Amino acid sequence: MSIQPFTIAIPQTTLDDLRERLARTRWPDEVEDAGWDYGAKLSYMKELVAYWLQTFDWRTQEAKLNRFAHFKADVDGVGIHFMHERGKGPAPLPIVLTHGWPDSFYRMHKIIPLLTDPANYGGDPADAFDVIVPSLPGYGFSDKVHGATSIRIAELFARLMTDVLCYKRFAAGGGDIGSRVTRLLALSHPEALVGIHLTDVGFPGEPAGIFPSDLSNPSPAEQQFLGSVGQWFMQEGGYAMLQSTKPQTPSYGLNDSPVGLAAWLVEKFRAWSDCAGDVEQRFSKDELLTQIMIYWATETISSSARLYYDDAHAAPQLKPGQYIEIPAGVATFPKDLTLPPRELGERFLRVQRWTEMPRGGHFAALEEPQLLAEELRAFFRPLR
């Protein structure tokens, strides 16, 4: 298995083409005073696109990303892009952090220095981590792979950590799809993991079947959670149904129109973050557009959406009554998609730490990197 240094370098022709497409945008109409009720707000999208054209500098953001150590490895014939930052401490613990949708490896860029060099941020150097942040196959700079289910991704990441990077044991964490991949890692490779940390535990009917199917005698808190999941899907789950059933259809528009892509993604960053309705309370325009650019420049909106379809058609992995044995920590953030109670997590996880965080949403590593870093240090400290 080969490994090579990797530098992000988007061709200038791609950037020139983007400018032409942005300048030719054909805007839709909008219901008067609709705000964000119907989806991405027209006035905000025009403001964001004007900034994209007139102010945003991809080369500046590209240079910032390239300050991290990037690599690309061939893992079982699949090119996996990842960042690998070494810890500054007496015995750094390796940890693989996995992102989800609609984000990318960029989700973790704020938390990496907090984990690799805790002493520089008021922490203990004994808590240092070696941090590995891969791009999911079909996302960012990893290869696009047909049939790259979360199950297969977990196997690829296990090989990346043990066979390519030669870590005998390691930690794992993530949220969204990253939570699913992390749980699958723990299920299939318990011997390699010292523990897992999650910002969500999944939900009923989850693709790839890594959520307990035998929710008999739910507690009042579990019943409330189940009801909230159903309500959330009615209000917010249209994207998931579309990407799980017909992901190719929206890809034509999203891969062709940068404004269409931006609207598809920004609406989620607003709805799923702890921003009180103002997305820029949590993410600057530069941060939003850097995230969008990773999808646009790599043309991965279609391949990223296919993961939903492939997972929806994968066989269940967690059998009724089955338990993930290795130690698990969970941090729930109040504005995340759903808020599971601890007793639900304990049905299938060996929960050793469960923390209800004071603020933050779905994109915890971007929204509250300091809080999440402190939580990761605290959970893994006794497991080192």
Whole-angstrom CA distances from 86 to 64, 105, 114 are: 18, 17, 12
Over residues 29-42, the mean pLDDT reads: 96
Does residue 232 have a pLDDT over 80?
yes
Catalytic residue among 103, 117, 176, 200: 176
Query: Helix, strand, coil shares of the chain as percentages rounded to 5?
Result: 45, 15, 40
Cβ pair 332, 357 in contact under 8 A? yes
DSSP string, 218-260: --HHHHHHHHHHHHHHHHHTHHHHHHHH-THHHHHHHHH-HHH
CA distance 144 to 136: 9
Whole-angstrom CA distances from 240 to 14, 61, 178, 347 are: 29, 30, 16, 25
pLDDT in tens, 50-69: 999 999 999 999 999 999 99
Residue 308 bears catalytic tag: yes
pTM exceeding 0.95: yes
The predicted structure's pLDDT at residue 216 = 82
Cβ pair 134, 96 in contact under 8 A? yes
Domain count, the chain: 1
Domain that holds residue 257: 3-383
Catalytic residue among 308, 309, 310, 311: 308
Residue 121 bears catalytic tag: no
Within 10 A of 299 (CB to CB), how many other CB atoms are there? 13
Strand-strand pairing, 324-332 and 193-198: parallel
The predicted structure's pLDDT at residue 190 = 97
CA distance 35 to 38: 8
pLDDT in tens, 317-372: 888 888 999 999 999 999 999 899 999 999 999 999 999 999 999 999 999 999 99
The predicted structure's pLDDT at residue 217 = 87
pLDDT in tens, 261-313: 999 999 999 999 999 999 999 999 999 999 999 999 999 999 999 999 999 99
Q: What is the CATH number of the domain that holds 106?
A: 3.40.50.1820
Calculate the CA dihedral of residues 371, 69, 164, 192 and round it to 10 degrees. -10
Q: H or E stretch including 97?
A: strand 93-98
Catalytic residue among 81, 84, 109, 362: 362
Q: H or E stretch including 325?
A: strand 324-332
Q: Hey, is 142 helix, strand or coil?
A: coil
Q: Which candidate, 46, 51, 48, 9, places its Cα nearest to that of 28?
A: 46
CA distance 282 to 289: 13
Mean pLDDT (the chain) is 96
In what order do the strands lie in the sheet containing 3-5?
3-5, 70-75, 78-85, 129-134, 93-98, 170-174, 193-198, 324-332, 349-356
Q: Hey, is 1 helix, strand or coil?
A: coil
The predicted structure's pLDDT at residue 295 = 98
Over residues 133-159, the mean pLDDT reads: 96
Region of residue 76 (left: phi > 0; alpha: psi -120 to 50; beta: else): left
pLDDT in tens, 59-118: 999 999 999 999 999 999 999 999 999 999 999 999 999 999 999 999 999 999 999 999
Six token digits for residue 312 = 């929806």
CA distance 205 to 211: 7
Residue type, 294: I
Residue 362 bears catalytic tag: yes
CA distance 261 to 280: 18
The predicted structure's pLDDT at residue 215 = 84
Cβ pair 27, 263 in contact under 8 A? no
Cis peptide before 102 (omega within 30 of 0): yes
Does residue 1 have a pLDDT over 70?
no
